[in-house]
Chain A
């Protein structure tokens, strides 16, 4: 080496040591997250798996953990999911289309709209619960019913759907639009026949991810619903308990068996979410187009 004085050599070695330490820290950073995740899953599964059986899926909750099940909660979660799709997709995609295709970006109110949506995405979920409590449960007098829960969850995840729908729409190249205009299409024709179909995979992925987020939410439902004891299947205007809330209620019980039951219910919830997410990824991979 040219000019490899002892000082330079030791400086280089120090540099190497520093580099190695830094790299170790970086590995640790990744490891912390993944190890915790792994521990969590393993722990929950080990604890809960013995209670994952037909009883869990088919029976109603009970004071006796041996015969307690989560059927009303599972059904409520499924119903909430369906309602959510019916509510969020039209409204979210509609908003996204408006912002991307119709809104004049130079107008202040359209810019404010964008900032507003970004803000809403960051509002704590319990504030949505308060909103629901004040307006839906007490204000409108709906009471603590499934519909109120669905409406509040819709508002909660709407910003996510909007943001991902916007990105999907934005990803469609402008040339497609220009070509359609050139052929005499109206704005709506361009959107509905060219842009939307191309954006569907992205929109679907985003919606499913938003749905998955909503189905795992507990806090807003605690304020808007969630009775202690619901032993019958949920209906639109009836009392309800969703799966995350059931998990919460079982976790709070001191008896060890209920903790195991909570673990079993967690396994069911995680499986539902896993399926949804896998579905979203599958859609993205199968239908994603590279422009």
Chain B
């Protein structure tokens, strides 16, 4: 029997098998919604996994001591849980990453958006994307085995593991992040604005810096923030090239330890579950999560704003 129905509009008037179809449609919707719920479950899981042990940790160690203490020796006797050396280590590396990826990322974006011709653009854009696709462990290997010796060869006195090599390599890795989001933002600026400026005799430099960049500024800032957030959360490059020595210094030639490196190093070995040392993984993890979350939320809002303005 055919399941054809008499149609008025898109709804069948005579429902021969409509009831069964309805039911299966709901089931399908349910299954799909379940898939979507997995992402919620992931977030809930992350929050529980991080914050429950973190709260237990902060019952034993005062959060003020944690955030303001300058000695990080959780595994030694006497124990000290001041996380500042890890945060400063993270900042030290991120600083150099930003010094590289922000100007060069923006420069690459401006070039691709305002200067490059169609064919050049077609080749260069994917080429830059390749930078983003290289696994981070390979970058770490490169920083350790090539960049640091290079620095030493040209006379910079850096230690075998140092913040500078890690930061700079990380910055190069992040250039595509800044470039592609900035370029997206810039391409959303309507042609008319540019054409008007050119008609008035502006140079490309003027159009780029006085028209396009300011109009796309929220997207551009979003790209900076996102890149910094990635730099903060990056693990392998710093684990290999920056070191495992908590060190409260911004001197880039010294060995330091970032929050991520600490988590990776401690979580690898088998620290006794439930011990205070085990909980440091989660306390530091929670700190890291909060920092990147704030930055990500901020940049998502900015991106939404620039997308709205021109659509």
Residues of A within 8 A of B (CB): 15, 18-19, 22-23, 25-30, 32-34, 36-37, 39-40, 43-44, 47, 90-92, 94-95, 97-99, 102-103, 113, 115-120, 122-131, 133-135, 138, 155, 158-159, 162, 181-182, 184, 186-188, 212-213, 215-219, 222-223, 226, 244, 247-248, 251-252, 259, 262-263, 266, 269-270, 273, 277
Q: Is the CB of B138 within 8 A of A247?
A: yes
Add 8 more A-B contacts to A30-B124, A98-B35 (CB < 8 A).
A32-B100, A37-B127, A113-B40, A122-B226, A130-B285, A131-B46, A247-B137, A273-B135
Q: Which residues from B are CB-within-8-Å of A182? A: 10
Per-residue CB proximity of B256-268 to A under 8 Å, as 1/0? Answer: 0000100110011
Report Cα–Cα, A131/B286, bound state, in Å: 11
Contact A251 B140, CB 8 Å, known A116-B43, A124-B288, A138-B273: yes
Q: Is there contact, CB below 8 Å, between B260 and A158?
A: no
Known contacts A126-B263, A131-B49, A273-B133; decide if A119 and B300 are in contact (CB<8 Å): yes
Q: A99–B32 Cα gap in the complex (Å)?
A: 9
Q: Does B16 contact A (CB under 8 A)?
A: no
Residue of A25, A29, A36, A223 with most chain B CB atoms under a 10 A cut-off = A29
Q: Mark B94-107, 1 if CB is under 8 A from A, else 0.
A: 00000010011111
User: Chain B nearest CB: distance from A87 CB in Å?
Assistant: 10
Would you list the 6 A-B pairs with minimal beta carbon distance, nearest first? A124-B233, A29-B107, A216-B135, A94-B35, A98-B32, A122-B296
Cross-chain contact of A162 among B39, B138, B229 (Cβ < 8 A): B39
A222 lies within 8 A of B267 (CB):
yes
Is B36 a contact of A95 with CB atoms below 8 Å?
yes
Chain A residues within an 8 Å CB radius of B106: 29
Q: Is the Cβ of B260 less than 8 Å from the Cβ of A219? A: yes
Q: Are B240 and A248 in contact (CB under 8 A)?
A: yes
CB distance B40 to A116 under 8 Å? yes
CB-contact partner of A133 in B39, B130, B267, under 8 A:
B267
Q: Shortest CB–CB separation between residue B41 and chain A, in angstroms?
A: 9
Q: Which B residues, 246 to 299, have Cβ-Cβ distances below 8 Å to chain A?
A: 260, 263-264, 267-268, 273, 281-282, 285, 288-289, 292-293, 295-297, 299
B233 adjacent to A123 (CB under 8 Å): yes
Q: Is the CB of B141 within 8 A of A130?
A: no
- Measured between beta carbons, the chain B residues less than 8 angstroms from A181 are 10
Q: Find out whether the CB atom of A30 lies under 8 angstroms from the CB atom of B108.
A: yes
Q: Is the CB of B226 within 8 A of A91?
A: no
CB of B127, distance to nearest CB on chain A (Å): 6
| Cα–Cα, bound, A100→B110 (Å) | 33
Most buried by B among A25, A33, A213, A251: A33
The answer to whether B175 touches A113, judged by C-beta atoms less than 8 angstroms apart, is no
Q: Is the CB of B38 within 8 A of A158?
A: yes
- Pairwise interchain contact B146-A43, C-beta atoms closer than 8 A: yes
Q: B44-61, CB under 8 A of A: which get 1 and which 0?
A: 011001100100000000
B42 surroundings in chain A (CB, below 8 A):
120, 131, 155, 158
B142 interface contact, C-beta 8 A: yes
Asked if B111 and A122 sit within 8 Å, CB to CB, the answer is no
Residue of B36, B267, B285 touching A94 (CB-CB under 8 A): B36
Determine if B172 is an interface residue (Cβ-Cβ < 8 Å): yes
Q: Given A15-B203, A126-B235, are A222 and B264 also a contact pair (CB < 8 Å)?
A: yes
7 CB contacts below 8 A, A to B, read A22-B208, A122-B230, A124-B288, A187-B25, A216-B135, A218-B137, A222-B268
Q: For residue B193, which residues in chain A have a CB less than 8 angstroms away from its CB?
A: none
Report Cα–Cα, A47/B176, bound state, in Å.
26
Chain A residues in 8 Å Cβ range of B134: 37, 40, 216, 270
Residues of A within 8 A of B34 (CB): 94
**Looking across the interface, which residue of chain B has its beta carbon closest to that of A269?**
B135
Given A97-B32, A158-B38, do A29 and B25 touch, yes or no (CB 8 Å)? no
| B245 interface residue (CB < 8 Å to A) | no
Residue from A99, A115, A218 with most neighbouring chain B CB atoms (10 Å): A218
Q: B309 at the A/B interface (Cβ < 8 Å)?
A: no
Which of A130, A159, A216, A217 has most chain B Cβ within 10 Å? A130
B198 within 8 A of A: no
Q: Does B128 contact A (CB under 8 A)?
A: yes
A113 to chain B: closest residue by CB: B36
Using Cβ atoms and an 8 Å threshold, which residues of chain B touch A117?
39
Distance, CA A273 to CA B135, complexed state (A): 9
Chain B residues contacting A219 (CB-CB under 8 Å) are: 136, 235-236, 260, 264
Residue in A135, A213, A269, A273 whose beta carbon sits within 8 Å of that of B49 in the complex = A135
Please report which residues of chain B, range 189-237, place their CB below 8 angstroms from some CB of chain A when the two chains form the complex.
203-205, 208-209, 226, 229-230, 232-236
**Interface assignment of B242: CB less than 8 Å from any CB of chain A:** no
Q: Report whether A33 and B104 are in contact in the complex, using a CB–CB cutoff of 8 Å.
A: yes
Contact of A186 among B25, B128, B268 (CB under 8 A): B25
Residues of B within 8 A of A103 (CB): 36
A95 to B43, CA, bound (A): 15
Q: In the complex, which of the residues A18, A95, A98, A270 contacts B205, with contact meaning CB atoms closer than 8 Å? A: A18
B21 interface hit (Cβ, 8 Å): yes
- Contact A19 B204, CB 8 Å, known A29-B111, A32-B172, A102-B29: yes
Contact B234 A124, beta carbon cutoff 8 Å: yes
Is A26 a contact of B108 with CB atoms below 8 Å?
A: yes
- Mark each residue of chain B from 80 to 103: 1 if its CB lies under 8 Å from any CB of chain A, else 0: 000000000000000000001001
